[in-house]
């Protein structure tokens, strides 16, 4: 597996789904990452105004998300094996978190929170399901997920690259049930 480097452009909004790079990752999951055809159940725990998910959440009640609660509590509320895909795109920088007004924090500053989110993601993913993850790392957050594809999204200048990865449910153990 290799990482491709792509140009991220000058996108400045909070809704990263509007960036062309995000669409590239999403369409990779749909076209190449999923074996059963068109996905039906797409969970987005940090949706903001992204309408790509069919089950959406955002802590900010002023967004278009269907549910408005903490992302971990949202994931815990979902039934087992309900998701074909999960879009994991939380606020992952201090700058990004500051721009939100509804209690968002940089979730990567709390490794336990991210680990707990991924335990729930593995629980809700259907066999063969995928996760599109954005952040500043390509950390494998659960042993049942295998890295399928990765991109380094370069924004140029003094802005950090973003790591965008696709993970697929590969193996399950008794602990996953």
Whether the CB-CB separation of 4 and 152 falls below 8 Å is answered with yes
Alpha helix positions (H), the chain:
20-28, 71-77, 94-99, 111-124
Give, in order, the Cα–Cα distances in Å from 159 to each of 8, 37, 95, 153, 177.
10, 37, 11, 11, 41
pTM, to two decimals:
0.82
Q: Which residues on neighbouring strands pair with residue 151, listed in sequence order?
A: 4, 164
Whether the CB-CB separation of 134 and 92 falls below 8 Å is answered with yes
Q: Show pLDDT as tens, one digit a residue, over the chain (177 residues).
A: 667 777 666 555 555 666 666 676 766 666 654 555 566 899 999 998 888 889 999 988 988 999 999 999 999 999 999 999 999 988 766 665 565 555 556 666 777 888 999 999 999 999 989 999 988 888 888 999 999 889 888 877 777 788 889 999 986 555 545
The structure tokens listed for 85 are 């895909």
Whether the CB-CB separation of 146 and 167 falls below 8 Å is answered with yes
The CA-CA-CA angle for residues 25, 118, 143, to 5°, reads: 90
State how far the Cα of 124 lies from the Cα of 27, in Å rounded to an integer.
Answer: 21
* Rg of the chain on CA atoms, in Å: 15
User: Which phi and psi angles does 23 have, rounded to 5°?
Assistant: -60, -40
């Amino acid at each position: 597996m290799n990482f491709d480097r792509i140009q991220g452009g000058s996108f400045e909004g909070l809704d990263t789904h509007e960036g062309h790079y995000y669409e590239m990752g999403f369409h990779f999951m749909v076209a190449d990452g999923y074996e059963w055809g068109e996905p039906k159940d797409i969970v987005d725990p940090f949706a903001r105004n992204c309408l790509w998910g069919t089950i959406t959440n955002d802590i900010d009640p002023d967004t278009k998300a269907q549910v408005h609660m903490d992302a971990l509590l949202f994931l815990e509320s979902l039934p087992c094996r309900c998701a074909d895909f999960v879009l994991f795109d939380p606020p992952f920088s201090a700058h990004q978190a500051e721009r939100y007004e509804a209690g968002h924090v940089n979730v990567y500053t709390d490794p336990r929170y991210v680990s707990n989110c991924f335990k729930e993601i593995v629980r809700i993913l259907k066999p063969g399901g995928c996760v599109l993850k954005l952040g500043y790392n390509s950390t494998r957050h659960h042993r049942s997920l295998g890295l399928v594809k990765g991109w380094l999204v370069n924004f140029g200048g003094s802005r950090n690259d973003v790591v965008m990865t696709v993970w697929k449910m590969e193996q399950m153990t008794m602990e996953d049930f």
